[in-house]
Amino acid sequence: MTTLDASTVPHVTATQMREVDRVMVEDLQIRLLQMMEHAGRHLAHLARVRLLNGDVQGRRVVVLCGTGGNGGGGLVAARRLHAWGASVTVVTTRPAADYAGVPAHQLGILRRLEIPVLHEGESSETTLSEAALLLDALIGYSLDGAPRGAAARLIERANAHAAPVLSLDVPSGLEATSGTVHAPTVRAAATLTLALPKTGLRVTQARPVVGELYLADIGVPPSVYASPALDFTVGALFSKDDLLRLDNEPSMPR
């Protein structure tokens, strides 16, 4: 896996990332489903090679998922890990009926595969107790204020668990732009951020909850970043690998 100096990679705010997503979907007609599949595949791969010693066969993984795009990426990762032989359980913040759009589509696939899916109110402490790894796909870059309700309870349970946590895009509870660490915020062993790292990930106060930082290619052409609303230059970051380690981050704590 290629390692890059994090200071040489452009960072984006939540507002800028929303514009990237808009250009991808509305202007280029690249579907959210396509980007979500990339995100989930990379998340599952990183879980396998970095946190599960290269083999997921028989390993218990619990995936914590919200109802938005971040949760949808977690659902894709759950499917991938299940196909590779892991024992996967998904815990969602809301009942299945509350999911819509592409995340609902991904959830439906898991149900047809008979992968166990529980919402937070149905799960218990034993759901997480034997997990070798937790995947955090609760809240993405759109967080506005401290997590509440089911998401907050699942964050607290994840932080109380001994297994490492791998977060998707940003640790849930961390403000993607400012790096504000809310109460509660997932304390991740590693974070896989998407397309470009978010500005909040490089803030000093955020680093203890971010852990090791990785960057995944979800198919955004460099020309998107040069659009008038963004107007900055991004080179061919993924010319050698579609999953990068960003250095100058703390070592994995466990």
The answer to the question of residue 252 being in a domain is: no
Contact 172, 186 (CB under 8 A): yes
Please determine, for residue 250, whether its predicted confidence score (pLDDT) is greater than 70.
Answer: no
Beta-carbon count within 10 A of 126 CB? 7
Structure tokens at 232: 């900055």
Please determine, for residue 57, whether its predicted confidence score (pLDDT) is greater than 50.
Answer: yes
Name, of 27-41, 116-130, 236-250, the range with top average pLDDT: 27-41
**Residue 167 maps to which CATH number?**
3.40.50.10260
pLDDT at 32: 93
pLDDT in tens, 35-44: 999 999 999 9
Q: Among 58, 42, 126, which Cα is nearest to 91's? A: 126
Q: Is 63 left (phi over 0), alpha (psi -120 to 50) or beta?
A: beta
Beta-carbon count within 10 A of 112 CB? 8
The answer to the question of residue 164 being in a domain is: yes
pLDDT band at 251 (very low <50, low <70, confident <90, very high): very low
pLDDT in tens, 152-190: 999 999 999 999 999 999 999 999 999 999 999 999 999
pLDDT band at 248 (very low <50, low <70, confident <90, very high): low
**For the purposes of burial, counting CB atoms within 10 Å of the CB of 238, is it exposed (0-12), middle (13-18) or buried (19 or more)?**
middle
Structure tokens at 171: 């640790």
Q: Taking residues 51-65, report their average pLDDT.
A: 97
Full residue range of the structural domain in which residue 200 is found: 3-246
The answer to the question of residue 25 being in a domain is: yes
The answer to the question of residue 253 being in a domain is: no
**Per the structure, how many domains does the chain have?**
1
CA 165 remoteness from chain centre: 11
In sequence order, the β-bridge partners of residue 134 are 62, 165
The answer to the question of residue 242 being in a domain is: yes
The answer to the question of residue 251 being in a domain is: no
pLDDT in tens, 101-118: 999 999 999 999 999 999
pLDDT band at 229 (very low <50, low <70, confident <90, very high): confident
The answer to the question of residue 102 being in a domain is: yes
The percent of residues in the chain predicted with pLDDT above 90, rounded, is 85
pLDDT at 235: 85
212-216 and 243-246 beta bridge pairing: antiparallel
Beta-carbon count within 10 A of 231 CB? 8
User: What are the φ/ψ torsions at residue 228 (nearest 5 degrees)?
Assistant: -55, -35
User: What are the φ/ψ torsions at residue 54 (nearest 5 degrees)?
Assistant: 85, 0
Structure tokens at 222: 């460099």
The answer to the question of residue 98 being in a domain is: yes
pLDDT at 115: 97
pLDDT at 183: 96
Please determine, for residue 211, whether its predicted confidence score (pLDDT) is greater than 50.
Answer: yes
Average pLDDT of the chain, as a whole number = 93
Please determine, for residue 77, whether its predicted confidence score (pLDDT) is greater than 80.
Answer: yes
- Is-above-0.75 flag for pTM? yes
